A and B are shown apart, each in its own frame.
Chain A
Amino acid sequence: MHWRTVNPESLCWAQWDDANTLFHGETGETHLLGELPAAVVQLLSGAARSEASLCAELAALCETANDGPWRQRIAALLSQLETLELIEPLPADTP
């Protein structure tokens, strides 16, 4: 499964000490994101990634093992972000 951020040009970020607030122009919603979800949205704004490579990239960033529990955690996070319409899976036929 490949993922990308929904209309990244419509994002406005504000970074605070302990969290990030994010305005998503596409939906008109404001979100409060911790560091990990913020990193996901930022990475996927640049280029689409497969779930596997995202897990690996984030594990490296967070200096943690890319193991089963980690991948489950990321999967749950991706599902949550999808519900908020911040990210979406790429259509199967995308080159």
Chain B
Amino acid sequence: MTRPGQRPRGAAFGRGHLLRYLNGPFSIQLSTPLADVARLVTWSYGAAMDDSSTDDSPAHFNVTLRHRSLPRRLLAPQVMFQAEDSRPLAPFPRDHAFALLEWGVNWCIATRAHQYLMLHAGAVERDGRALILPAMPGSGKSTLTAALIARGWRLLSDEFGLLDHQSGRLHPLPRAIPLKNRSIDVIRRFWPDADIGPVFTRTRKGDVAHLRPPAASLIRQAEPADPAWILFPQYVSGSPVQIGRQPQSQVFTRLSQNAFNYNLLGAVGFRSLSALVRDCPCWSIRYGDLDAVIAAIGRLTGTDGS
């Protein structure tokens, strides 16, 4: 379990760093010579480092992040992600090492955690109930998720909605939220106290900076929530808030294609998804202004105190 202020469990050895930390239900053991990566991991997940010095249970994911090769190190340095004997991702420029690590962990989760139906979605929680925001083009999902947690919702996830087959509950996976380009400034203005990490420029997606997961979300990352609402957000600049109820068969169809592993899970995935669609009313919501959409969400979900 996690305790804030606890000294992170990691060790510097030789010229390398060995860290063990939690991302939601997954324990990660990271070995890397890159000091800046170790610092960013500690900054991001320090409140969730394993505190037991006697914890020698196997980590879920054993990953390394290291330089690609000596000659490359001089010309255009690159870093390589490895998970046990797999190298699933192309190398990244050295400056973007932390982003590569996060992608790599995503890959580990998506290829192994089939005890969950994995939605490609953000999720936030209030009063034990979860709001699910499926990722769609133009949704502004990450920006909206960041704005919601600025206004008091607990961060469950930005990337993966982990729906447990047996309990039907959503398991938290609070991670650093990558904000891109304009939304970095948008969130800075919307949430002046937001803890945003360094800006990585000239990535494939432009400028990327990570929003630190709030300590509360990490402390409570073993606490699942009951799915209650599904919202397909669509950001359109200047648009007033427009809400439409979604027919269940369409919701099922969209989510079956949105989920990473729906097809793989067969009958189990079908039953999990059916229960989710049955239990959660679903809307699409078009918006142009964060304050307006958050107020609308509060009214829709009955969490605005009214």
Report which A residues bind B (CB closer than 8 A): 10, 12, 14, 16-21, 23, 25, 28, 30, 32
B: number of interface residues (CB 8 Å): 15
Beta-carbon contact of A16 and B267 below 8 Å: no
Task: Looking at the assembled complex, report how far the CB atom of B15 sits from the nearest CB atom of chain A, in whole angstroms.
Answer: 49
Within 8 Å CB of B252, what residues of A? Answer: 14, 16, 21, 32
**Chain B residue at smallest Cβ distance from A19:** B249
Beta-carbon contact of B266 and A21 below 8 Å: no
Task: Looking at the assembled complex, report how far the CB atom of B73 sits from the nearest CB atom of chain A, in whole angstroms.
Answer: 47
Beta-carbon contact of A32 and B253 below 8 Å: yes
Partner of A28 from the list B248, B266, B271 (CB cut-off 8 Å) is B266
Candidate in B249, B262, B266, B277 with the most chain A CB atoms within 10 angstroms: B249
Contact (A23, B267) CB under 8 Å given A14-B274, A30-B256 = yes
Within 8 Å CB of B274, what residues of A? Answer: 12, 14, 21
Within 8 Å CB of B278, what residues of A? Answer: 14
Beta-carbon contact of A23 and B249 below 8 Å: no
Beta-carbon contact of A17 and B256 below 8 Å: no
Contact (A16, B247) CB under 8 Å given A21-B252, A30-B256, A32-B253 = yes
**Chain B residue at smallest Cβ distance from A20:** B249
Beta-carbon contact of B270 and A30 below 8 Å: yes
C-alpha spacing A30/B253, complex, angstroms: 10
Task: Looking at the assembled complex, report how far the CB atom of B278 sits from the nearest CB atom of chain A, in whole angstroms.
Answer: 8
